[in-house]
Structure 1
Amino acid sequence: MSTDNDLLLAQQGDHAAYDRLLRPLLPELHAHCYRMLAASHDADDALQDALVKVWRRLGDFEGRSTLRTWLYTVVTRSCIDLARARGRRAMPIDLGPSSARAVVDDAPSTEISWLGPYVGEAPHGATSPAARYEQREAVELAFVAALQHLPGNQRAALLLFDVLGFSAEEIATMMDTTTPAVNSTLQRARATVTRSVPDRSQQATARAIGDRQLGSIVERFTMALESRDTDALIQLVTEDVTWAMPPMPHWYAGLGAVGDFAAQVPMGNCGSWRTLPTSVNAQPAVACYLRPDRAPAHGAWAITVLTLRETRVSAITSFLGVQHFTALGLPTELPPIGQ
């Protein structure tokens, strides 16, 4: 059945046609919501709110734009409203200077809205020749964190233009403003993001080093953690490596601080580790399971995302919480090795 027929049927209240019409676009719409809001559960809420509005207003769609453009208009406005209500999301690096020594009694901060991992599968490739960023590049941690320093309208304009390939004229209509205003907004947004995002994306880095070497880096990281070998970890990272663990507010930068933290906390006397490889934010990641002394099993502890610079790890971001494992479809417990 054609898209035009499904659109007509959906406008007449046919739920099956509505599902057929929207289902192919849901992954990219959800990724857009995550880029705007920097938390998967916020993206779920915004997309659900937008889909309810789309269903109610579909009969008013007159075809003056493409259906995709109209959908992005509704979704983007829902995201801007939610971003305004919930505020921007932060990483530990946004809160203050790094800690020179391990903070062994660090406690989670529940007063801060933390940036969360993206557990969905971001669409591949660029949306148009005019797009500056591939869709997978635009869910990488550094890019999403940089977006959170933009007001909602700047965030939306940059994503709609540089990631999704809409024209300035289309964006002006979508955001109820003028084309010159969109161009000015884009200029300011790009200046902010360019200062924060590395020159080479993680997608480009992965292509340059190849799957085999990428897998080797992940394996070396997991072996260092499971064997609690701080020296092996230090050999794997850059001199300016950082390690952050939201919702813990402290973070560490440089070989000395990261090595001290690793030796005293994850590789200290906290228990034994098991790991599973995964992918988060279109980057290599490791699901880390901790078994404290005398515990019957390894429990979900953190999803650790690795950011690479060439063949070394330049940033380690451990998202603590069992909810991230559930969202990824990973088990929340693993038995001890040999059982």
Structure 2
Amino acid sequence: MSDTTALSAEERYDLEAARDGDEAAFARLVGPHRAALHAHCYRMLGSVHDAEDALQEALLGAWRGIGGFEGRSPLRSWLYRIATNAAIRISRRQSRRVLAAEHGAARTSVHELGEPVTESVFVEPYPDTELRDWSGYADPEARYELLESVELAFVAALQELPATQRAVLVLRDVLAMPAAEVAETLQTSVASVNSALQRARQTMDRRLEPASQQVTLRALGGDGQQKLVRAFVRAWEHHDIDGLVGLLAKDARFTMPPLPAWFDGRTAVGGFFAERIFENPWKLVPMTANGQLAVACYMGDVAGNAFPLSAVNVLTIRGQEIVALDGFLDPAAQRPFGLPPEAPR
């Protein structure tokens, strides 16, 4: 029998059973890691749906290769190695995903929003419930917190990196894997890993704001966050344009992927709300996404008889102001959140 000292007794039992073709044992082995692997693939790909494809490919690869896993390293490391390479393969077949504000110029007219972009080009929102459950258990050597590592700006910045640099940064700075283990995962040298990490960090530092959303939200505190969200919901639902504009930073932006239209600056965003958004009644439900404040937006018909789900709107905060509203209109992007299809009564 192989040396399996890196595994618990239960894992060793399930490993041997899985090697003999026991699918239930394999499911028990990988089950505790599944959600974390999905989040890892999301960071790599910027898409919940691409992450699901990468995860399925990785789990299939793990099942087929279980006979070659000797258990001398932690199961977690072996699974991340397979998932990372699956995500790299998928990323090389896909276009780079971006935030909607990076896709084209801001609009000046509120009446022409363009046709939805059908190609998969936009970073998608991520349901962060399970990451919140684990946020207190992150590796203390990690440079980025778990929630910080799925913030929209962070994931979008990751997509700018070449696939190998992206993998190195996530494995080293989010998962705190040793450089030697990362080198083995990517079949390269430790020196190459360290060089790629340095270049990746430079790009991320250039792209990201000095304060992450986690730092900003902690500074606001729980009461401050609730106060801001309540004011935002109240202004939107009551069509209070002055109240809503008063919550926005001067350089605020509002995007609506998959629509190409987006609006830049407090005045432009306020004009769009006044002339288009406030044509209909709304109900908003506070939530979280990507480690950030968010709201589920339900747009009613003119009579206000029905309020189907219209958007998941992710808020980015700077100080005490909203600097970005990213409203995801695609039902496919909303579906992973498991939201009610109509506003709760």
Mapped to 2, the partners of 1:204 and 1:191 lie a distance apart of 20
Residue 284 (structure 1) aligns with:
293
Shift of 1:321: 2.4
What is the 5 A alignment of 1:19-34?
Answer: 19-34=27-42
CA contact (8 A) 1:103 1:250 kept: no
Mapped to 2, the partners of 1:324 and 1:294 lie a distance apart of 27
Shift of 1:172: 0.8
CA contact (8 A) 1:273 1:291 kept: yes
Mapped to 1, the partners of 2:34 and 2:195 lie a distance apart of 30
Which amino acid in the other structure matches residue 314 of structure 1? V
Mapped to 2, the partners of 1:225 and 1:59 lie a distance apart of 57
What is the 5 A alignment of 1:47-86?
Answer: 47-86=55-94
Choose 118-127 or 206-215, whichever is displaced more. 118-127
Q: How many residues align?
A: 334
2:107 to 87, 99, 120: 99
Which amino acid in the other structure matches residue 284 of structure 2? T
CA contact (8 A) 2:128 2:147 kept: no
CA contact (8 A) 1:242 1:314 kept: yes
Residue 220 (structure 1) aligns with:
231
Residue 327 (structure 2) aligns with:
318
Residue 221 (structure 2) aligns with:
210
Shift of 1:295: 6.8
Residue 5 (structure 2) aligns with:
none
Mapped to 2, the partners of 1:227 and 1:127 lie a distance apart of 41
Residue 230 (structure 1) aligns with:
241
Shift of 1:275: 1.3
Mapped to 2, the partners of 1:129 and 1:326 lie a distance apart of 33
Residue 149 (structure 2) aligns with:
138
CA contact (8 A) 1:140 1:281 kept: yes
CA contact (8 A) 1:90 1:112 kept: no
- Matched position secondary structure for 2:21: coil
What is the 5 A alignment of 1:1-339?
Answer: 2-121=10-129, 122=131, 123-125=134-136, 127-267=138-278, 269=279, 271-294=280-303, 296-334=305-343
- Matched position secondary structure for 1:2: helix
Mapped to 2, the partners of 1:153 and 1:105 lie a distance apart of 36
Q: Are the structure 2 counterparts of residues 185 and 125 from structure 1 closer, same or farther at C-alpha, using a change threshold of 3 Å?
A: farther
Mapped to 2, the partners of 1:333 and 1:104 lie a distance apart of 27
CA contact (8 A) 2:165 2:197 kept: yes
Cα deviation 1:171-224 (Å, max 9, x = unaligned): 111001111111111111111111111111111222221112111111111111
- Matched position secondary structure for 2:107: coil
Mapped to 2, the partners of 1:175 and 1:156 lie a distance apart of 8
Choose 61-70 or 79-88, whichever is displaced more. 61-70
CA contact (8 A) 1:136 1:203 kept: yes
Q: Are the structure 2 counterparts of residues 126 and 191 from structure 1 closer, same or farther at C-alpha, using a change threshold of 3 Å?
A: farther
Mapped to 2, the partners of 1:242 and 1:11 lie a distance apart of 53
CA contact (8 A) 2:241 2:274 kept: yes
Shift of 1:96: 3.0
Which amino acid in the other structure matches residue 207 of structure 2? S
Stretches of structure 2 that go unaligned for 5 or more consecutive residues are: 1-8
- Matched position secondary structure for 1:50: helix
Shift of 1:97: 3.1
Cα deviation 1:6-31 (Å, max 9, x = unaligned): 22222222223222221111121110
CA contact (8 A) 1:125 1:134 kept: no
Which amino acid in the other structure matches residue 65 of structure 1? S
Mapped to 2, the partners of 1:316 and 1:247 lie a distance apart of 14
> Taking structure 2 as the reference length, what is the TM-score of the superposition?
0.92
**Percentage identity across aligned positions?**
43
